[in-house]
Structure 1
Amino acid sequence: MCCQPWESLVKSTAMKFIKANLPRRKFLQYLAAIAPAAWLAKAQALTANDSGDVTSTARQLAAGRKMPMLQTWADETSALVVVMGPKGLTFDSQNNAGLTVQLMRADDLGSQFTLYRLQVTGLSPTAYSQIGVYNQNRLVDVRSLKGLDMTQASPNLAVASCANFRKTEGQEYIYPRFHEAKTDAIFFIGDIVYSNSRVGSVFKTPEEPSSALARYVETWRTVDLYQMEPLVPTLAMWDDHDYGQNNGDATNPYRDQMKAIFRSFYPMPEVHERLSYGPGVSFRLRAFGIDFHFLDDRSFLVNQVTQWGEQQEDWFFKDYLASSNPAWIMNGVQFVQYAPVGESVQRGGLPSLQRLRNVIKANMKPVVFVTGDVHYSQIQYLSKEYFGLNTYELTSSAIHSSSVGEWLRRSQEVGQLFYYGESNFFIVKPRIEAKAMQLEVSCATATGIYPTVSAPLRIET
């Protein structure tokens, strides 16, 4: 769609102001003279203070960026929404008398930004509502959201990992696939933020929380996940990069601080009947007739001893054994080692994998393993020798980061039924049957959404 004449003029002039390095005051005076109030308000909202320079504001205007925002938790009638913006923002419903928007907390990020957590109630799972963002009583953004019907029989669930803010080339082609696929919810299973430095990645040193926080902020500023309209419920767990340490483990001295940062950006309800919380950032969601286990593979990792730690294993195993629901077990790193390089539970936490095998064999129900981390996606068949039933490991990686190309493609003879080595994520459509779980898996790429295998995967006992 072509820009309106004033919009084209503002964008082109914004770039001129960047090159001339003119002050914010002059830029706002210019906008006030030529642009609608919404654009002037957006410029004010995106600028730190009256003395700040115009560069950040102008760049975001020139790119047409919205206020960074994410819908995290949602049920049928309520949601949590996180907004990153300047101090003093207020929020309200738009043209919906039954919608309530409550500010739960506002965290000063120590820069020009504040992180706002909103509780939205009065939602419908079938129709969108709008919330408005105001700066100094001026409307600067409007976003749409709805509730999530957790009783539906066959939802469209996106599984994604590895959103590197340093490698966003082509993201404008990948993020629209969430809406194209009519995604009901996104499961982001690790590395939603790359919070460690390049040097730290090489030497595997823990990132100090202050610099890690700065990269969380930069991620929200630059990654299109936070620009989506309408919003899509997004549940997140971490892996090593959002944990702040490449290949990080239980020795990370900033573990507690990093958890606080992570959950401030990706919060969950304190209590909900569909949720059970374990140690670290782990939790279980019960929805769509399935138990979704999100495991923390970093906070308690002791190499060659345990992947998840004794307390997390106790919580997870008890929860798993107490339910007859089919299950997704989601982890940052892969469960099985398929390549000579890289992490896996088999390589780093083999005793935990052996205990998991025993638990699964003790409660024979349909179960699938879902992972990320490795910067390629695959569907791997696992024969009953692994876990006592024929099942699969679905690996979805990376939505945008470095890509491995064809390097780790293997043959179907060794069980690799599908492989893709460029930017992508999976869309999984489950269907529950008597003693069986069927999964229709598609791969969303920069060029489109494609089937992965010729028929839905079937897991039965």
Structure 2
Amino acid sequence: MSIPKQWPEIKSTPPFPILQVATSTQVAQFNLLLPHVSKHSHLPEIWAEGEYKIKPVEIRTLINSDNLEWQLLRVKFADLLPNIEYSLKIVVNEMMDCRWFKTLPPESEPLRFAFSNCLNDETFYIEIQKDIYTQLNRERPDLLILGGDLVYVDSRERWYNIPEGPQAQDCLIRYLETWHRLDLFKLPYLIPTIAIWDDHDYGINDGDLNFPHKETTLWLHRCFYGADDIDKVFINFNLGRIGVFTHSSQAFFLLDNRYFRLHDDLEIYPEIDELDYSSLYQYFIQQYSKQRYNLLGQEQEEWLLAQASSHRFIWLVGGNQFFGNHHQKESYSRSNPEQFYHFLARMKATEKRFAILSGDLHIAEFSRYQIYGQGEQPIYEFGVGPMHSTMKLSDCLPDCYERLANPYRIRSEKLREENPHLSEETLEKLANCGLACFRYNFAVFTTKFVENGLETKIKLVTDNCNPFLNFTTII
């Protein structure tokens, strides 16, 4: 791929765009977008400080511009300690950038991770995004999981009235622009981050395996948001944007719903209520056709199920909602029902407990699905987001909860007890319509194992100064 010789938004002064990526209790990795020290040197001066100065064990150039004005580097430190606050220091052209970071906490401690998606960098969101990242910086979770649409390659602002849309070289420019525009990459306290993609960072709205530039965007996403393998902690799969991250006996499977995807021609059969997931499950697991692997692809599904057997608890991280028959946007259940229900049957056969983290709907909603039958373990899906992107429904509309109803949203018995800060009007809506939020948001999950499962405390944080919602359950 030819790298543009000129890129007008290059930033030559701190803070430089930095993302801490997959990290363990001892290893920390960072992706840094930096100007060159000079045309004769590719490596700026980079080190960490705790009680003493620590040199990186590896600095690798991922992407260079042809005219050597900027470079994307991956930096790795090893032999670090948990619960120690380190400083990351970078000197470029006699200018210093300093950030704070930690490794992950010990495996014996509760894991506190944040999740969201949909990070739109169009002009309208540049001011809006500042508030949500102020809240994220205040929360300082142990881990940040980003569920896709992290770069809007096909930005309407960029490609308005241009029917052919972005070409291969344009994809890189959109990744660069996003990194320079968003405050996520300027946080004073860096957060270990793992990420998947969805259609917009893939390159085209509702894209599937036929997207002509998918190898280009795959390479870009791996460079900007990916990380190297860490033994027994982080593993990349060598096809698509797939990986698994493990900590505190919890495995986060990062699923690729674009690279292998074809949309099914199947219709939800009219004799079955489209919201009766239990009946649909029983119907579709009796079907088997050439469309069986149209969503995740056979290689991805087999890899996931082979890996799943060695983990105590599984989080499935997807760009779309899994259960989405209550709306018209893409979802696993609506777009590819045959693979969806077969996949759930195979997950049940592993006898592992699992839950779902999803996005793309641009509202947050917490749901519970009893599809396997009475007495069987329900499936929890925590839909979160957007961080900052289009809100087709907002809490400014008095009927927003009714206009996108979902009968499977959780009705919390401890709603008032856990949320004394909410108004009576909001409490009544949440009690009647289930747990949902129509603001820019991310969720912070605090998890620990108890006798009967994984205790999960969730704080849904919005762009204003107060947490919107608290909810606790055992999965």
- TM-score, normalisation: structure 2: 0.78
Q: 1:202 to 1:436 in 2, by over 3 A?
A: farther
Kindly state the Cα deviation for residue 434 of structure 1 after the two structures are TM-superposed.
3.4
1:26 is aligned to: none
1:430 aligns with 2:447: yes
Distance 2:389 2:155 in 1: 14
For residues 92-112 of structure 1, what are the alpha-carbon distances to aligned partners after superposition, in whole Å with 9 as ceiling and x for unaligned? 325553512232225214574
Q: 1:139 to 1:200 in 2, by over 3 A?
A: closer
Match of 2:155 among 184, 190, 197: 197
2:140 is aligned to: 182
Alignment RMSD: 2.8
Kindly state the Cα deviation for residue 317 of structure 1 after the two structures are TM-superposed.
1.7
Kindly state the Cα deviation for residue 297 of structure 1 after the two structures are TM-superposed.
0.6
Kindly state the Cα deviation for residue 336 of structure 1 after the two structures are TM-superposed.
0.9
2:460 is aligned to: 443
Q: 1:140 to 1:168 in 2, by over 3 A?
A: same
For residues 335-369 of structure 1, what are the alpha-carbon distances to aligned partners after superposition, in whole Å with 9 as ceiling and x for unaligned? 01143320000111212211212112212332111
1:307 aligns with 2:295: yes
Kept in 1: contact 2:325–2:334 (CA 8 A)? no
Larger mean Cα displacement after TM superposition, 288-297 or 386-395? 386-395
Kindly state the Cα deviation for residue 267 of structure 1 after the two structures are TM-superposed.
2.2
Identity of aligned residues (%): 21
Kindly state the Cα deviation for residue 376 of structure 1 after the two structures are TM-superposed.
1.0
1:456 aligns with 2:472: yes
1:156 is aligned to: 112
1:119 aligns with 2:80: no
Distance 1:267 1:195 in 2: 17
Match of 2:96 among 115, 121, 140: 140
Number of residue pairs the alignment of both structures matches = 401
1:99 aligns with 2:59: no
Kept in 2: contact 1:67–1:84 (CA 8 A)? yes
- Consecutive unaligned residues of structure 2, counting only runs of 5 or more, are 38-42, 265-290, 411-433
Match of 1:396 among 384, 396, 413: 384
Distance 1:331 1:69 in 2: 24
1:376 aligns with 2:363: yes
Distance 2:467 2:196 in 1: 26
State the one-letter code of the partner of 1:422.
Answer: R
Distance 1:150 1:449 in 2: 29
Kindly state the Cα deviation for residue 83 of structure 1 after the two structures are TM-superposed.
1.2
Match of 1:290 among 250, 267, 271: 250
Q: 1:265 to 1:357 in 2, by over 3 A?
A: same
State the one-letter code of the partner of 2:72.
Answer: L
SS of residue matched to 1:286 = strand
Match of 1:208 among 167, 170, 179: 167
2:189 is aligned to: 230
For residues 263-292 of structure 1, what are the alpha-carbon distances to aligned partners after superposition, in whole Å with 9 as ceiling and x for unaligned? 111122145222333331111122111121
Greater helix proportion: 1
2:126 is aligned to: 168
Distance 1:159 1:245 in 2: 23
SS of residue matched to 2:435 = strand
Distance 1:226 1:268 in 2: 16
Larger mean Cα displacement after TM superposition, 415-424 or 231-240? 415-424
1:415 is aligned to: 409
For residues 180-227 of structure 1, what are the alpha-carbon distances to aligned partners after superposition, in whole Å with 9 as ceiling and x for unaligned? 223111000101111123276999967322111101101111100000
State the one-letter code of the partner of 1:288.
Answer: S
Match of 1:352 among 304, 327, 339: 339
SS of residue matched to 2:28 = strand
Question: 1:315-330 to 2 correspondence within 5 Å?
Answer: 315-320=303-308, 322-330=309-317
For residues 286-317 of structure 1, what are the alpha-carbon distances to aligned partners after superposition, in whole Å with 9 as ceiling and x for unaligned? 21111211100100001113210011111112
State the one-letter code of the partner of 1:158.
Answer: A
SS of residue matched to 1:337 = coil
Kindly state the Cα deviation for residue 140 of structure 1 after the two structures are TM-superposed.
2.4
1:32 is aligned to: none
Distance 2:17 2:168 in 1: 21
1:339 is aligned to: 326
State the one-letter code of the partner of 2:327.
Answer: P
Q: 1:271 to 1:450 in 2, by over 3 A?
A: closer
Kindly state the Cα deviation for residue 144 of structure 1 after the two structures are TM-superposed.
1.8
For residues 124-154 of structure 1, what are the alpha-carbon distances to aligned partners after superposition, in whole Å with 9 as ceiling and x for unaligned? 2212222222223x13211222211251432
1:84 is aligned to: 33
Distance 1:128 1:371 in 2: 31
Q: 1:94 to 1:282 in 2, by over 3 A?
A: closer
- TM-score, normalisation: structure 1: 0.80
State the one-letter code of the partner of 2:89.
Answer: G
Distance 2:437 2:176 in 1: 30
State the one-letter code of the partner of 1:307.
Answer: L
Q: 1:232 to 1:324 in 2, by over 3 A?
A: closer
Kept in 2: contact 1:100–1:121 (CA 8 A)? no
Kept in 2: contact 1:206–1:254 (CA 8 A)? no
